[in-house]
Amino acid sequence: MLGKLDWSAIPFGQPIPLIAGGVVLVGVLAVLMWVVVKGHLPYLWHEWITSVDHKRIGVMYILLASVMLLRGGSDAIMMRIQQAIAFQSQGYLPPEHYNQIFSAHGTIMIFFVAMPFVIGLMNLVVPLQLGVRDVAFPTLNSVGFWLTATGALLVNLSLVVGEFARTGWLAFPPLSELSYSPGVGVDYYAWSLQISGVGTLVAGINLVTTVLKLRTKGMNYLRMPMFCWTTLASNLLIVAAFPILTATLAMLLLDRYLGFHFFTNEAGGNVMMFMNLIWAWGHPEVYILVLPAFGIFSEVVSTFSGKALFGYRSMVLATMAICVISFMVWLHHFFTMGAGPDVNAIFGIASMIIAVPTGVKIYNWLFTMYGGRIRFATPMLWAVGFMVTFIIGGLTGVLVAVPPADFMLHNSMFLVAHFHNVIIGGVLFGAFAGFEYWFPKAFGFRLDERWGKLAFWFTFSGFYITFVPLYVAGMLGMTRRMQHYDVAEWRPWMIVAAIGMAVLSIGVICQIMQLVVSIRNREALRDRTGDPWDGRSLEWATSSPPPVFNFAFHPDVRGEDAYWDMKVHARKQALEHAVPEYHDIEMPRNSPTGFVCAFFATVMGFALIWHIWWMVILGAIGAFATFVVFAWRDHDEYVIPAAEVAAIDRVNLEERRSLVSMAGAV
């Protein structure tokens, strides 16, 4: 009846996951209770859960990423404490628990923190920057988000029902095959990623189409803001790379469920095939994450320097070069497989070539600052912190692209430090910069600068205190994923890294405090202009938060930095006072399709993990039926009458005119 599921799946004997799971469960139930009792449920359902508004979906993506950041961060804290104390002892985490934690940490941080964070920001901002009213496929967008949430839910469910993978975040076979990992851990891993992978692919298709097909009048490719370019590049990579991940995991699942032999030791299975396939996805994935971050920094550096981006065309070229080359370097993840010197050297050099366009980007940001008038608001702090940190990460990255150096450093703590250096210093700093930068746009009030700066300084210094010791440990021969160790010279560095982790945690607490304080003082921090940073691209041309239709009129773009252009224009012409003629606007209707579909996907995923076949069929039929019902819809749009558009837009125009005239007076 319930497949492999019975009471032994609940870890009654293990206090840590049980208590953690219990606390989370109580927390979730308390929030749900509060929502129901206070009568917020209809609001949540109509305005958020069923919303197909790209801004709302973007916010929900970021909320998901933030919550999961706390989960993945807790894993990191537990690992750092374990390695600080597990010298010539077992520490406080037995191996099968420790191994789950580092596997979950990697999986969560990449798939459920970094990915939803950047996809959320792209969703929120790109249609606004392009001057359009929505993404290409609004309902599909909602489906994509909810499927990602399903994946996150399943990963967290493994904390209390069963176990998570104990194989590392890429689940290399044959360790991840049934013979060496008979539990449900790898199944939780694989099905979570299969389901959320579909969500990511859908989001990628949607954003590529949006950038290619939905641009406002005059917004040709070479007038798009840099963030739109990096979004295009990143989502092209998603569309090209995620099917590889899906296929690879499907093969692993066939091995595990139906006795196939793609990657098993026996019957001609080949683990080297898995290594190649997973990294053929895995390396582009790194650029899927970091390219949007590059875009965010381009916007931030340009805005806060009060200048257009230096070498815009060069930046576009560099972005697309990275997009293409990133597909040709995957083998550098396993130089130590013994492929031979020609193969290793070619992939080593190809990997280094990526450093060229990346270096160009750094220099272009540098020259954007040159001759600027730099305002050090929180987003700009993250940007400068990023530039310094990312260069160091780039250096160590190029270093491990040199095969003989990699022969010493592969899989070491040096490598761990390297990829955290680029992922924290690049992606996470970028996500935070974007969060601080676009928060006023999404919610209509700024974030508290004092807490924001504290968060930056703690995170920045915490990063170095945590990861410089890991570089050193790697140079002392320490390999990754050690549940305990006996080498005395590693110990001091592990202790320092744990202290660094504490500093990083303070950074996260400051980030939370910033949000709390800002929400409390939101009236004082209110942004009535829609343009709190003196921005340059079109998202700042509408009010904060933007109306559901984003723009009453499709803006007419006449050059790069479209909104800056308009502002200069308006100042010169001492403001137009012509009253525009408003039209009805058609917007997509809200739809529960995404949520319902994800509900059935969750049921199906859970059932597949536990081999509850009748429930698998139920979930599959439910998800398919949802799709059919949506496909049979009659009305998918509603009309906002011109009068309502006019009323909303006038308020915006008033505020904006007062802003421009004030600036003109100065």
Partner 1 sequence: MNLLDPQGPVAAANSTILVDSVFIMLAIVVPTIVAILAFAFWFRASNSRARFQPDFVHSGRIEIVVWSIPALTVILLGGVAWIGAHQLDPAAPVPGTGSPVRIQAVSLDWKWLFIYPDQRIATVNTLTVPAGAELNFQLTSSSVMNTFFIPQLGSMIYTMNGMVTKLNLRADNEGKLQGMSAHFSGDGFPDMLFDVVVISPLSFPDWVASTAKTNAVLNEESYKKLMQQGIEKSRLTFRLDDPRLFDLIATQHIPPGPGPELMSDASRTHSGGDHAR
* Relative orientation angle of helices 593-609 and 185-213, to the nearest 10 degrees: 150
Residues 78-97 that bind partner 1 (CB under 8 A): 90, 94-96
Residue placing its CB nearer to partner 1 in the complex, 13 or 42:
13
Q: How far apart are alpha carbons 666 and 654 in whole angstroms?
A: 19
Residues 340-359 that bind partner 1 (CB under 8 A): 340-342, 344-345, 348-349, 352-353, 355-356, 358-359
CB 305 to partner 1: min, Å:
7
- Considering only 294, 445, 485, 606, the residue that binds partner 1 (CB under 8 A) is 485
Q: Please report how many Cα atoms fall inside a 13 Å half-sphere around the Cα of residue 569, on the Cβ side.
A: 12
Q: What size, in residues, is the chain? A: 666
Residue placing its CB nearer to partner 1 in the complex, 3 or 477:
477
Q: How far apart are alpha carbons 595 and 599 in whole angstroms?
A: 6
Residue placing its CB nearer to partner 1 in the complex, 484 or 657:
484
Q: 585 φ, ψ to 5°? A: -120, 135
Rounded to the nearest 10 degrees, how much is the dihedral formed by the CA atoms of 253, 256, 257, 261? Answer: 90
CB 562 to partner 1: min, Å:
15
CB 227 to partner 1: min, Å:
17
Residues 490-519 that bind partner 1 (CB under 8 A): none
- Considering only 3, 477, 492, 545, the residue that binds partner 1 (CB under 8 A) is 477
* Relative orientation angle of helices 54-85 and 95-107, to the nearest 10 degrees: 150
Cβ atoms < 10 Å from Cβ of 133: 24
375 makes contact with partner 1 (CB under 8 A): yes
Angle at 204 between CA 200 and CA 209, to 5 degrees: 155
Report the run of H or E that residue 640 belongs to, with start and end. strand 637-640
CB 391 to partner 1: min, Å:
5
* Relative orientation angle of helices 226-258 and 271-305, to the nearest 10 degrees: 160
Rounded to the nearest 10 degrees, how much is the dihedral formed by the CA atoms of 459, 25, 119, 437? Answer: -40
CB 303 to partner 1: min, Å:
12
Q: 485 φ, ψ to 5°? A: -155, 160
Coil, strand or helix at 479: strand
Q: How far apart are alpha carbons 530 and 526 in whole angstroms?
A: 10
CB 7 to partner 1: min, Å:
13
Residue placing its CB nearer to partner 1 in the complex, 587 or 660:
660
- Considering only 288, 482, 608, 609, the residue that binds partner 1 (CB under 8 A) is 482
314 makes contact with partner 1 (CB under 8 A): yes
**Side chain identity at residue 577, one-letter code:** H
Q: 194 φ, ψ to 5°? A: -65, -45
Tell me how far the alpha carbon of residue 127 is from its chain's centroid: 18
Question: Token digits for 277?
Answer: 């396939």
Residues 266-305 that bind partner 1 (CB under 8 A): 266, 271-272, 305
Residue placing its CB nearer to partner 1 in the complex, 27 or 259:
259
Residue placing its CB nearer to partner 1 in the complex, 167 or 652:
167
243 makes contact with partner 1 (CB under 8 A): no
- Considering only 38, 213, 373, 635, the residue that binds partner 1 (CB under 8 A) is 373
Residue placing its CB nearer to partner 1 in the complex, 270 or 521:
270
The residue written with tokens 């069963």 in the block is: 162
Residues 163-222 that bind partner 1 (CB under 8 A): 163, 166-168, 172, 174-175, 179-180, 182-183
Residues 4-33 that bind partner 1 (CB under 8 A): 8, 11, 13
CB 642 to partner 1: min, Å:
39
CB 179 to partner 1: min, Å:
4
Per CB under 8 A, the segment of 210-218, 387-395, 458-466, 611-619 that binds partner 1 is 387-395
Q: What is the DSSP string of 575-599?
A: ---PPPPP--EEEEPP-THHHHHHH
Closest-CA residue to 197 (of 159, 167, 260, 155): 155
| Cβ proximity of 323 and 284 under 8 Å | no
Cβ atoms < 10 Å from Cβ of 42: 8
404 makes contact with partner 1 (CB under 8 A): yes
Tell me how far CA of residue 582 lies from CA of 128, 255, 384, 451, 642, in angstroms: 19, 60, 43, 42, 5
Residue placing its CB nearer to partner 1 in the complex, 363 or 624:
363
Residue placing its CB nearer to partner 1 in the complex, 105 or 166:
166
Residues 153-172 that bind partner 1 (CB under 8 A): 163, 166-168, 172
659 makes contact with partner 1 (CB under 8 A): no
| Cβ proximity of 104 and 155 under 8 Å | yes
526 makes contact with partner 1 (CB under 8 A): no
402 makes contact with partner 1 (CB under 8 A): yes
- Considering only 480, 526, 611, 650, the residue that binds partner 1 (CB under 8 A) is 480
- Considering only 61, 287, 310, 443, the residue that binds partner 1 (CB under 8 A) is 310
Count residues binding partner 1 (CB under 8 A). Answer: 98
CB 242 to partner 1: min, Å:
25
